[in-house]
Amino acid sequence: MTTNRGAVAAVVAVRGSVVDVRFAARLPPIRTLLRAGPDGRIAMEVLAQLDGQHVRCIALTSTQGLARGMAVQDTGAPLQAPVGASILSRMFDVFGNPIDQLPVPRNVQWRSVHRTPPPLARRSTQSVVFETGIKAIDVLLPLETGGKAGLFGGAGVGKTVLLTELIHNMVGHHQGVSLFCGIGERCREAQELYQDMREAGVLPDMVMVFGQMNEPPGARFRAGHAALTMAEYFRDDEHRDVLLLIDNIFRFIQAGSEVSGLMGQMPSRLGYQPTMGTELSGLEERIANTDTGAITSIQAVYVPADDFTDPAAVHTFSHLSASIVLSRKRASEGLYPAVDPLQSNSKMATPGIVGTHHYQLAQDIRRTLAQYAELKDIIAMLGLEQLSPADRNVVARARRLERFLTQPFFTTEQFTGIKGKTVSLADSLDGCECILRDEFKDYPESALYLIGPIAEAKGKPAPAAPAPPEVAHAAKSHAS
């Protein structure tokens, strides 16, 4: 440890991650990065100017070894992130240091992580559907190119698998770049995701940025800004479409709350920081569709205690164009992806954007599934035979629709042994329309399970009785 009390800048107080620094001359601007300690390994960001000589900083690294009187170096610039073609297939921390045990990438530029959102004059005014190749999403919950979709799901319902598949489809069929940002991720999850991406063959066209759970709140808070700076490079400089996946946007808000508390700010509702709306907007508004390309974002959203009135959830909802809810019940039934169509919604599902035919078909599907949900209690108590013929037809259609909306994924081929499929929007709509017209009522439900286009069902086992016998048997057992 070296100290230099005669330095231009020196540490005067250390309280956990909060560090006060005294400057003899000019104060550095807010968001300037300061460094201290041997080799400048302790990084701090200026968050407040206390008076004419003192600034208050939040540490982005551990403050172990930092002491009063220690010299502080003013870098003269904010936190920066590396950009360039050579960052593809790599994994970085919030400082742009590679954490994949590979050499430091060459030929990179360094840009500030604090950038303003694109002006309205550069933004695209057209709403264009972002086709994913996943039937359940394209038909019922169309995503917006340059939009933001929230993915709500707990552990074990297929959230990471769905994110991985979206990356695969984006790279393979849209010639775009995928960028994964892990905020508050566990080290185990980051390692598993990296291995999964490499084995799935999608790593060459993606970048991964992590602010892990064991890092200080300042580092977790800036991980999203660093990832967005990289995404903006591919959109604005290379004119490529970018798929940005953030897991978990709630951890960004949580890290901001920790930073706010450490800085001594008065907490707002339920203990959140008073600046939460501004901080979230500053991040979300940079995700946009411009005249050079689009950043389309899929964000995992954790809802505290399943309370959708929580300020974190409410502020996040206001930025999303689609909400995809993954159901644990559907996952337990083997219906993957486990998207719950009755709880999910999309602002793109309007006649003016997707067309009248697509809109009416999606409404018919939702109506059929909603009627089936209402009939489940009657089936459980009295059995399928007690339903009217019309209701039995509704149940048959709904169960076939549920199975047709499942899909084999490329990223799960090694586990299921079933080759992955992408399905065009036209094929997805055609399949749902055929089921609603009862064209497949003589085919067993299993013929529609985990297939691509509807035509594949005709190559499965011979037609069987339309009534689902396993439902009737289960209902009788339950009633008895």
Active site residue 186: yes
Active site residue 159: yes
What angle separates helix 389-404 from helix 356-382, to the nearest 10 degrees? 120
How many residues appear in the chain? 480
Greatest pairwise CA separation for the chain in angstroms: 90
**129 neighbors 348 (Cβ within 8 angstroms):** yes
Angstrom distance (rounded) from CA 196 to CA 200: 6
| Residue 110 φ/ψ, nearest 5 degrees | -115, 125
Annotated catalytic residue: which of 45, 185, 402, 445?
A: 185
Task: Give residues with Cβ within 8 angstroms of 125, minimum separation 6.
Answer: none
| Residue 342 φ/ψ, nearest 5 degrees | -85, -20
Helix (H, G, I), strand (E, B) or coil at 67: coil
Annotated catalytic residue: which of 186, 198, 367, 476?
A: 186
Task: Give residues with Cβ within 8 angstroms of 211, minimum separation 6.
Answer: 93, 94, 182, 183, 184, 185, 219, 220, 221, 222, 223, 224, 255
Annotated catalytic residue: which of 111, 135, 159, 286?
A: 159
- Sign of the C-alpha dihedral, residues 389, 395, 401, 407? negative
What the block records as the tokens of 3 is 């100290």
Angstrom distance (rounded) from CA 394 to CA 390: 6
- Residue 393's alpha-carbon distances to 230, 406, 435, 460, in angstroms, are 52, 20, 11, 22
Angstrom distance (rounded) from CA 132 to CA 2: 56
Residue with tokens 């008073």: 274
**166 neighbors 298 (Cβ within 8 angstroms):** yes
- Residue 52's alpha-carbon distances to 27, 284, 432, in angstroms, are 7, 34, 68
Kindly list the catalytic residues: 159, 185-186
